[in-house]
């Protein structure tokens, strides 16, 4: 097998050796080269101590406690710009299932390979092109197996993040987890609860962003890890649906994720596809072909937000995914929805979310196993959206704002300003030609004459009216899909 090592790595290796050290290409980069994938990052292992590495590579960065020095290569390839050069380390003592208690350097590459997690990650390539493979990692690459180095039970107890790494690597590489290793994962699955949520999240993100996302989720469940990651999804296991579905809630969610992964959609769209029906088991009524799931998108959105918060996803991601889950169920029928209705729809979901929302809808449709004749309707909705695209659909797009109203009507900040704006927006959604400063100001003057309760009442019915297209959804769904 001919392995092509980039110039940048050869250069680093040459410098280490001319300073009297040894140097090996190790870790995921060597594994990926052997598999024939493009490495995401490059790792070099050496007997040089961090201080020595820094001397050999002026300008390198050493900002951690793991003996890893970041060497800048000036490469234009972003994966090679910073190469991690790490001093050989020993097997360490772990008392918190995650961090070694102390860092001990090792003298040989063999010792260093022994501390690594899986056989396919415990390979080293020397400067002459020889591969050091004490744990038969190459054979496991050929067999497409993830196998722990040494006793899997001990290895997972040392560092419980390896539980997630095993499944994540399996789904990224399309590998299977070897039997004893899989057994040890199940036996130690509860240790995942001891791992910082952020670490679990980062592995979950890699798993979901991989081509084998669906299989990865299935393995998480099969090995008993899912309950510590996204336990609510498990509620859908064995929960049958109605006549519009052939799959259980669980299988349907996974198939939607699979579609989003195959289309190479973003993390947010993949998460929303995976979680879009997570609320269904909690609202299910009846059984068999006529069972219903009213308000599952509302319950599901709450569950989604709770799950992603628990895993410490960034607020922006949580809000976006929750919004997509909340609005995934829009129903549109040609001829039934007016332009004003489409403007209200845009007001509710936000024009900037449309693209992702349509992707989730598509994943839902394909994942149902019985795709309905929706694309035509979707195209028509897109056509309608195009038509009303320039119309005002949000308070920001009104020709006047709260300040204008306060100035023109000489009133102080307070709920009245919000009520007036709400009514104005509702009227503009109905008829965009009203979105002219003078007209809005005159209408605001009229509204301001109303007493508080009258005005508040108008504002709240405006709000309800905005929801109409959506509750229309529910009525339509009941009529068309659920009730005999």
| Nearest residue to 5 (alpha-carbon basis) of 60, 73, 106 | 73
CB nearer to ligand ATP: pick between 32 and 356: 32
Alpha carbon distance 323, 349 (integer Å):
8
Rule CB under 6 A: which of 399-428 touch ligand ATP? none
Q: If binding is defined by CB under 6 A, does position 37 make contact with ligand ATP?
A: no
201 binds, among Mg ion, ligand ATP, none (CB under 5 to 8 A by kind): none
Q: If binding is defined by CB under 6 A, does position 40 make contact with ligand ATP?
A: yes
- Considering only 37-45, 287-295, 394-402, 464-472, which stretch makes contact with ligand ATP by CB under 6 A? 37-45
159 binds, among ligand ATP, Mg ion, none (CB under 5 to 8 A by kind): ligand ATP
CB 364, CB 253: distance < 8 Å: no
- Considering only 70-78, 155-163, 227-235, 292-300, which stretch makes contact with ligand ATP by CB under 6 A? 155-163
In degrees rounded to 5, what are phi and psi of residue 283? -115, 5
Rule CB under 5 A: which of 12-41 touch Mg ion? 28, 41
CB nearer to ligand ATP: pick between 161 and 340: 161
CA angle 12, 14, 18 (to 5 degrees): 120
Q: If binding is defined by CB under 6 A, does position 159 make contact with ligand ATP?
A: yes
Q: If binding is defined by CB under 5 A, does position 70 make contact with Mg ion?
A: no
Q: How many residues bind ligand ATP (CB under 6 A)?
A: 12
CB nearer to Mg ion: pick between 41 and 52: 41
Among 8, 43, 178, 356, binds ligand ATP (CB under 6 A): 43
- Residue 43: strand pairing partners: 26, 84
CB of 467 to ligand ATP, least distance (A): 45
Token pair listed for 302: 């709450």
Pairing state between β 43-46 and 23-26: antiparallel
Rule CB under 6 A: which of 164-183 touch ligand ATP? 165
CB of 104 to ligand ATP, least distance (A): 14
CB nearer to ligand ATP: pick between 77 and 336: 77
CB nearer to ligand ATP: pick between 199 and 302: 199
Alpha carbon distance 324, 313 (integer Å):
16
Alpha carbon distance 378, 93 (integer Å):
58
Alpha carbon distance 381, 400 (integer Å):
29
Among 68, 73, 119, 121, binds ligand ATP (CB under 6 A): 121
CB nearer to Mg ion: pick between 26 and 278: 26
Q: If binding is defined by CB under 6 A, does position 116 make contact with ligand ATP?
A: yes
117 binds, among ligand ATP, Mg ion, none (CB under 5 to 8 A by kind): ligand ATP
Q: If binding is defined by CB under 6 A, does position 89 make contact with ligand ATP?
A: no
CB of 104 to Mg ion, least distance (A): 22
Q: If binding is defined by CB under 6 A, does position 100 make contact with ligand ATP?
A: no
Residue sitting closest to ligand ATP (CB) = 28
161 binds, among Mg ion, ligand ATP, none (CB under 5 to 8 A by kind): ligand ATP
First to last CA, the chain: 65
Contact residues: Mg ion, CB under 5 A = 28, 41
Contact residues: ligand ATP, CB under 6 A = 27-28, 40-41, 43, 116-117, 121, 159, 161-162, 165
């Amino acid at each position: 097998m001919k392995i092509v090592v980039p110039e940048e790595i050869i250069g680093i290796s040459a410098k280490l050796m001319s300073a009297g050290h040894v140097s090996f290409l190790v870790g995921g980069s060597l594994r990926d080269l052997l598999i024939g994938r493009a490495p995401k990052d490059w790792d070099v292992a050496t007997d040089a101590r961090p201080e020595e590495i820094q001397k050999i590579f002026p300008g390198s960065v050493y900002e951690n406690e793991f003996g890893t020095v970041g060497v800048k290569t000036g490469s234009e390839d972003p994966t090679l710009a910073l190469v991690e050069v790490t001093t050989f380390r020993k097997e360490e003592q772990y008392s918190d299932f995650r961090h070694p208690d102390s860092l001990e350097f090792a003298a040989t590459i063999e010792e260093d390979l022994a501390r690594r997690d899986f056989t396919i990650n415990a390979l080293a390539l020397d400067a002459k092109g020889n591969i050091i493979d004490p744990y038969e990692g190459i054979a496991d690459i050929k067999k497409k197996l993830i196998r722990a180095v040494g006793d899997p039970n001990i290895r997972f107890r040392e560092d419980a993040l390896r539980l997630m790494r095993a499944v994540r690597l399996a789904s990224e590489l399309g590998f299977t987890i070897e039997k004893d290793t899989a057994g040890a994962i199940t036996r130690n699955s509860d240790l995942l609860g001891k791992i910082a949520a952020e670490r679990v999240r980062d592995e979950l993100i890699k798993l979901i962003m991989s081509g084998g996302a669906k299989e990865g989720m299935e393995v998480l469940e099969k090995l008993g890890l899912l309950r510590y990651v996204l336990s609510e999804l498990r509620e859908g296991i064995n929960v049958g649906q109605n006549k519009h579905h052939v799959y259980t809630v669980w299988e349907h969610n996974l198939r939607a994720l699979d579609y989003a992964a195959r289309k190479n959609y973003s993390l947010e769209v993949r998460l929303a596809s995976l979680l879009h029906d997570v609320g269904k088991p909690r609202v299910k009524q009846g059984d068999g072909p006529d069972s219903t799931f009213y308000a599952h998108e509302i319950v599901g959105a709450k569950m989604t937000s709770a799950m992603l918060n628990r895993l410490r996803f960034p607020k922006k991601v949580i809000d976006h995914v929750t919004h997509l889950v909340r609005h995934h169920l829009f129903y549109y029928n040609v001829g039934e929805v007016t332009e004003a209705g489409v403007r209200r729809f845009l007001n509710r979901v936000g024009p900037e979310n449309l693209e992702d929302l349509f992707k989730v809808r598509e994943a839902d449709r394909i994942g149902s196993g019985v795709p309905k004749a929706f694309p035509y309707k979707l195209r028509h909705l897109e056509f309608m959206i195009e038509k009303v695209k320039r119309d005002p659909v949000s308070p920001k797009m009104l020709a006047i704002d709260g300040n204008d109203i306060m100035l023109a009507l000489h009133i102080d900040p307070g709920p009245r300003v919000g009520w007036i704006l709400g009514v104005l927006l509702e009227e503009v959604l109905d008829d965009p030609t009203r979105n002219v400063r003078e007209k809005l100001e005159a209408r605001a003057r009229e509204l301001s004459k109303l007493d508080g309760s009258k005005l508040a009442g108008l504002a709240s019915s405006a709000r309800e009216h905005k929801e109409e297209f959506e509750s229309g959804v529910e009525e339509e769904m009941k009529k068309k899909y659920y009730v005999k």
